[in-house]
Amino acid sequence: MKLVRTAGWVSVGLVLAAGGAYAQEPANGGKAVAKRAPATAQQAVKPDAGAVQQTRPEAVSRTKAEPQTKQRAETDAKKLAEIEAREQPLRDAEALLKAGKPAEAYALLEPLDFERSGEVRFDYLLGISALDSGKPDKATLAFERVLAVDPNFAGARLDMARAYYQLGDMPRAKAEFEAVLKRNPPEAARVTIRKYLDAITAHEAAKLTRISGYVEGVLGYDSNIANSSTQTFTFAPGSPWSGLFPGNLLPPATKLTGGYEGVNAGAEVSHSLNDRWGVFAGADFRQHGNMVQTIYDTMGVDGRAGVMYGEKENVYRLTLTGGQFYSANSMRRDSLGVSGEWQHMLSPTDQMSFFVQIGQNRSAGFPATSPATDARIEGDTDQVVIGEGLVHIMDEGKQALFGSIYVGEEKDVAPVISPGLPNGGRTDGRKKFGGFRVGMQSSFTDYLDGVASFGWQKAAYQHVNNLIMRSRNEKLYDLTITANWRVDEFWSIKPQIALSQKKSNISLYSFDRMDVSLTIRRDFR
């Protein structure tokens, strides 16, 4: 019994011990949880100091980055707009070229040339538009800039060759075409290049020998056929002629006026010996018939032959000339001479030249002692002329200014054909002269050109003229205005007005003259 009671207490003690341990564990665990739970809640609401220090710089960085990002976006948009603005003219030009409007494309791009020169795409489009709108000289400049930057741009080199071909510079065109051909271009390009090379070969063959000619028919009106003076002439008091005429005067002459017709024709042949040397020869025939005053009809034949040498910017010509001129149905003047000329290209738009002419004129008539031989006294001369000329091209070849200045001497070498001149020659003796000519040529349309020129010459004679008892001197002025309408490739119509005036201290030699004419011309090439 005592053992049972003891076992019961032991069991109760073990149960109580187990119950106390169990009851104590939750109590301790509850405290820990109670202490930790507020900490967890506090951490969710308010971070610790380390977390706060890490979060603030990121927020500040984001705040500063927002304006920078906006500014960067604005800068990128501005650059994109600028690129678009620079690209737009090129796109428009490409569209115009595809639409077959190269002239409009060139007009769009040309004002930008100074600013954008050196940009490969711009220069190429400018060159194409210039070439296809008939400005091969402008095209070569643009293509040269392209090839300077990109020598392997085959398209630009091919178009450069086309530009040289249009300019007539066949050697350069051939060299460029052959350079493209060596790069093994597509078959379509090869076919095009072959066609050009065949055309260049044919052109070079034709250049070896070239024959050209023309025929003209002329109708006109002359206000002073014989260059007559309408001034009264008074003999000098000491003249041997003084007192032989009433009042010591010669009455004014009567102007002979009237219409005329004429026929002119000519031909020239030239042959290239090689790239530098060439020879040429030509002849011209001119006939002038007055409808009423037939005694003043004229006819002349002139011939020439020479040799030519050209290299780079220089061309040299040496020409032998000769001819016969008939007037008054009986008198004939024979001429023979030689001339030399040097032409030098200062630039693509400027050319200068120097020339020397040496010639002689000899007259003959029927009979030799007729009164008309006075004209032979004037006609028997030896002459030397030297001068310089200049040509300036403007407006892409549509206009040209030209001018020349010259001096010369004319020696009197007439035979003894008058009792008043026992030593031969002419009354006034040797003549020294000089003058100039200036003018302008302009193309109004593709078919209509105009030329205007003005000339002035002053001459002084050596001997004392016994009509005025002093040396003769004179000034000659002339103004010519011409239009040339090319009806087609071979036919042209040329109206012209020519005004001339000579002023002399011997009024017998002074005159005014106006010549109005219309010429119809047919060329042969």
Q: Where are the domains of the chain?
A: 88-206, 218-524
The yes-or-no answer to whether 88-206 and 218-524 have a common fold is no
Q: Which long-range contacts (CB under 8 A, 24 or more apart) does 309-315 make?
A: 309/276, 309/277, 309/278, 310/276, 310/278, 311/276, 313/344, 313/345, 313/346, 314/342, 314/343, 314/344, 314/345, 315/342, 315/343
CA distances in angstroms from 177 to 145, 191, 195, listed in the order given: 18, 11, 10
Identify the burial level of 408 via C-beta atoms within 10 angstroms of its C-beta, where 0-12 means exposed, 13-18 middle and 19 or more buried: middle
- Span 45-54, pLDDT tens digits: 445 545 545 5
* 33 pLDDT higher than 50: no
d(CA 350, CA 331): 43
Given pLDDT bands bounded at 50, 70 and 90, which one contains residue 31?
Answer: very low
Amino acid at 427: T
Given pLDDT bands bounded at 50, 70 and 90, which one contains residue 261?
Answer: very high
d(CA 6, CA 319): 165
* 369 pLDDT higher than 50: no
d(CA 76, CA 462): 87
Per-residue confidence (pLDDT) for residue 465, from 0 to 100 = 87
Q: Which of 3.40.50.300, 3.20.10.10, 1.20.1260.10, 1.25.40.10 is the CATH number of 88-206?
A: 1.25.40.10
d(CA 280, CA 212): 11
d(CA 357, CA 343): 15
d(CA 156, CA 213): 40
Q: What is the mean pLDDT of residues 299-327?
A: 93
What's the longest Cα–Cα distance across the chain? 210
Backbone phi, psi, residue 288, to 5°: -130, 115
Residues 90 and 122: beta-carbon distance below 8 Å: yes
Residues 142 and 122: beta-carbon distance below 8 Å: no
- Using alpha carbons only, give the angle 200, 166, 199 rounded to the nearest 5 degrees: 20
List strand residue ranges (DSSP E) for 366-398, in order: 381-394
Given pLDDT bands bounded at 50, 70 and 90, which one contains residue 71?
Answer: confident
* 237 pLDDT higher than 90: no
Q: Given CA atoms 54, 56, 57, 59 in this order, what sign does their dihedral have?
A: positive
- Span 168-198, pLDDT tens digits: 888 899 998 988 888 888 888 888 898 899 8
- Choose among 115, 96, 105, 170: nearest CA to 139: 105
Per-residue confidence (pLDDT) for residue 32, from 0 to 100 = 38
Q: Which two tokens stand for residue 208?
A: 């070896």
* 27 pLDDT higher than 90: no
Per-residue confidence (pLDDT) for residue 62, from 0 to 100 = 59
Q: Count other Cβ atoms within 10 Å, centred on residue 173.
A: 23
Backbone phi, psi, residue 388, to 5°: -135, 140
- Fold exhibited by the domain 218-524: Porin (2.40.160)
- Span 455-501, pLDDT tens digits: 999 999 998 888 889 999 999 999 999 999 999 989 999 999 999 99
The share of the chain scoring above pLDDT 90, in percent, equals: 42
Identify the burial level of 283 via C-beta atoms within 10 angstroms of its C-beta, where 0-12 means exposed, 13-18 middle and 19 or more buried: middle
- Choose among 519, 520, 511, 516: nearest CA to 256: 511
The most confident of the ranges 223-227, 262-266, 417-421 is: 262-266
Given pLDDT bands bounded at 50, 70 and 90, which one contains residue 330?
Answer: low
Report which secondary-structure segment, H or E, holds 124: helix 120-132
- Choose among 220, 201, 226, 222: nearest CA to 262: 220
Least confident of 17-26, 217-226, 229-238, 240-249: 17-26
Q: What is the mean pLDDT of residues 190-211?
A: 83
Backbone phi, psi, residue 183, to 5°: -85, 10
Backbone phi, psi, residue 372, to 5°: -70, -10
The share of the chain scoring above pLDDT 70, in percent, equals: 80
Q: Which two tokens stand for residue 505?
A: 């201290």
Scan for tokens 């000769």, then name that residue.
322
* Overall residue count recorded for the chain in this entry: 525
Per-residue confidence (pLDDT) for residue 36, from 0 to 100 = 41
Report which secondary-structure segment, H or E, holds 356: strand 350-364
Tell whether omega for the bond before 246 is within 30 degrees of 0, i.e. cis: no
Q: Given CA atoms 99, 101, 107, 110 in this order, what sign does their dihedral have?
A: positive
* 22 pLDDT higher than 70: no
Given pLDDT bands bounded at 50, 70 and 90, which one contains residue 404?
Answer: very high
User: CA end-to-end span of the chain, whole Å?
Assistant: 162
d(CA 380, CA 376): 6
Q: Which long-range contacts (CB under 8 A, 24 or more apart) does 286-294 make?
A: 286/262, 287/262, 287/263, 288/260, 288/262, 289/260, 289/261, 289/262, 290/222, 290/225, 290/258, 290/259, 290/260, 291/258, 291/259, 291/260, 291/261, 292/258, 292/259, 293/225, 293/226, 293/256, 293/258, 294/329
How many Cα atoms occupy the beta-carbon half-sphere of 194 within 13 Å?
Answer: 8
Query: Mean pLDDT over all residues of the chain?
Result: 83
What region does 328 belong to: left with phi over 0, alpha with psi -120 to 50, or beta?
Answer: left
d(CA 500, CA 158): 53
* 375 pLDDT higher than 60: no
Per-residue confidence (pLDDT) for residue 525, from 0 to 100 = 85
Given pLDDT bands bounded at 50, 70 and 90, which one contains residue 262?
Answer: very high
